[in-house]
A and B are shown apart, each in its own frame.
Chain A
Amino acid sequence: MAIERLTTRGRLVRVLIALVGMAALASGTLYGQDDWFPLAPFRMFSTTDDPNKPVDIARVDAIDVTGARFELTERNSGVRRAEVEGQMAALKADPALVAAIAAAYEQHSPDAPELVRIEIIVEHHELKDGSATGVVVDEVVTAWDR
Chain B
Amino acid sequence: MRRVAGKVGGWFYEAVPLGRAAAFRTLCYLFVVADLLVFTNWVRSHASVPGALYQPLAIGRILPLPTPTPLLVNGIFVALIVLALLAATGRAPRLLGWPVFLLYLEWMIIAMSYGKVDHDRVGFLVALAVLPTVGRARHGDATRSESAGWALRCTQIAVIATYFLASWAKIRFGGLAWLGGATLTRAVLRRGTWAARLLLDVPGLLVAAQWGIVMFELLSPAVFFLKERWRVWAIGGFYLFHVVVFSTITISFLPHLVAMAAFLPLEKVRPVEWAKRLRGRREPVEAPA
Q: Which residues of A contact B (CB under 8 A)?
A: 1-6, 10-11, 14-15, 17-18, 21-22, 25-26, 28-30, 34-38, 40-51, 55, 57, 74, 77-80, 82-87, 96-97, 100-101, 103-104, 107-108, 125, 127, 129-132
Per-residue CB proximity of B164-176 to A under 8 Å, as 1/0? 0110111011110
Contact present for B150 and A14 (CB under 8 Å): yes
Chain B interface size, under 10 / 10 to 19 / 20 to 34 / 35 or more: 35 or more
Whole-angstrom distance between the Cβ of B200 and the nearest chain A Cβ: 6
Whole-angstrom distance between the Cβ of A87 and the nearest chain B Cβ: 4
What is the predominant secondary structure among interface residues of chain B facing chain A? helix
Kindly count the residue-residue contacts between A and B in the assembled complex, taking CB atoms under 8 Å apart.
Answer: 215
Contact present for B173 and A55 (CB under 8 Å): no
Q: Known: A97-B52, A132-B189. Is A51-B119 also a contact (CB below 8 A)? A: no
Contact present for B169 and A18 (CB under 8 Å): no
Contact present for B172 and A37 (CB under 8 Å): no
- Cα distance A43–B163 when bound, in Å? 10
Contact present for A45 and B183 (CB under 8 Å): yes
Contact present for A42 and B162 (CB under 8 Å): yes
Whole-angstrom distance between the Cβ of B274 and the nearest chain A Cβ: 23
Contact present for B178 and A4 (CB under 8 Å): no
Contact present for A86 and B172 (CB under 8 Å): no
B15 at the interface (CB under 8 A from A): yes
Q: Known: A30-B172, A100-B53. Is A6-B146 also a contact (CB below 8 A)? A: yes
Contact present for A78 and B119 (CB under 8 Å): no
* Chain A hits for B166, CB < 8 A: 42-44, 46
* Chain A hits for B36, CB < 8 A: none
B117 at the interface (CB under 8 A from A): yes
One of B53, B168, B185, B186 near A97 (C-beta < 8 A): B53
B18 at the interface (CB under 8 A from A): yes
* Chain A hits for B201, CB < 8 A: 131
Contact present for B46 and A4 (CB under 8 Å): no
Binds A, one of B24-32, B85-93, B106-114, B277-285: B106-114
By beta carbon, the residue of chain A nearest B149 is: A6
- Cα distance A78–B116 when bound, in Å? 13
- Cα distance A49–B59 when bound, in Å? 31
Contact present for A26 and B165 (CB under 8 Å): yes
Binds A, one of B121-129, B224-232, B233-241, B257-265: B121-129
Contact present for B122 and A25 (CB under 8 Å): yes
* Chain A hits for B146, CB < 8 A: 3-6, 11
Contact present for A131 and B15 (CB under 8 Å): no
By beta carbon, the residue of chain A nearest B147 is: A6
One of B55, B120, B142 near A87 (C-beta < 8 A): B55
Whole-angstrom distance between the Cβ of A102 and the nearest chain B Cβ: 10
Q: Known: A45-B183, A48-B183, A127-B185. Is A40-B119 also a contact (CB below 8 A)? A: yes
Instruction: Find residues 143-169 in chain B having any chain A CB closer than 8 Å to their own CB.
Output: 143-148, 150, 153-154, 157-158, 161-162, 165-166, 168-169
